[in-house]
Structure 1
């Protein structure tokens, strides 16, 4: 009887074929799970945008935040600086604390903004001091918002609306905007 090489026997060919098919199936399954996770993240991706608006006719000025993404944005912290100094309340801006300015404010820190939701953290009725603020001082207001998706992927955004991926949202309490 003639000795055949072990890999030429029909049983080994069937076994190696089964092993190859199994390995391909495992790799396809791993890749499919990776794609599914990426799709799940993309389907709930938040995208915050900061804007300011002035209506001369209605005599109002406002800052706004909108979520133009596909998922909720969990706001972890907000930092608002005026003349490079962190403030904790809108009234810390001189133009807003003037007696002839009426303003309404909405809570922006530690909240969840749904997709397509708009929040106006501050809306002021213009007065002479407010018009001066709009024309000269508003350029000295900086706003940073750190927010995360439901998968705890986090971004930091400023008034330039260019989100930067960050590992986590951490800030000192003295810089945190409290309103």
Structure 2
């Protein structure tokens, strides 16, 4: 019997072929799982936008979710100058306006909330008071990916939503 090199042996060719096919299959499966996870994350990506509306006789703030998934609003931070506020009524001009809850909410995709609304003769005074107000929201997706957004509407990805008790807006 002739001495055949190992790489020309039919059993070795079959074994190496099976190994290569197995490696290609494993790589394809891993890549496919990665793409599926990224698609799942993208299909539930929230995108909050803070907006203000003023037309002379009415004033309001709004938060819109223009993303594809629910936004879990973890906290809101509202401050007037350098003073952190707990409630909208802490702003003198906002004493007689309609107010609703902003923190710790779930905002469905393509929906919005109006945390502050006013119609009446003092809308101009409220709009002027708005110039010194800053609003910051921290929200997460259902996959616990979190973002910070302020009135510039440029989300910044962060590790987690954490806030000190003295800075947290309660309403």
| TM-score in same-fold range (> 0.5) | yes
Alignment correspondent of 1:139? 131
Alignment correspondent of 2:61? 63
Shift of 1:127: 3.3
Gaps of 5+ in 1: none
Shift of 1:133: 3.4
Gaps of 5+ in 2: none
Alignment correspondent of 2:116? 122
| Count of residues in Structure 1 that have an aligned counterpart in Structure 2 | 171
Would you say 1:36 and 2:39 are equivalent positions?
A: no
Calculate the TM-score normalised by the size of structure 1.
0.92
CA contact (8 A) 1:84 1:140 kept: no
2:104 aligns to what SS in structure 1? coil
Alignment correspondent of 2:15? 15
Alignment correspondent of 1:171? 163
Alignment of 1:143-154 (within 5 A): 143-154=135-146
- Aligned-residue CA RMSD (Å): 1.1
Shift of 1:55: 2.2
Would you say 1:155 and 2:153 are equivalent positions?
A: no
Alignment of 1:49-60 (within 5 A): 49-56=49-56, 59-60=57-58
Calculate the TM-score normalised by the size of structure 2.
0.96
Alignment correspondent of 1:6? 6
CA contact (8 A) 2:59 2:126 kept: no
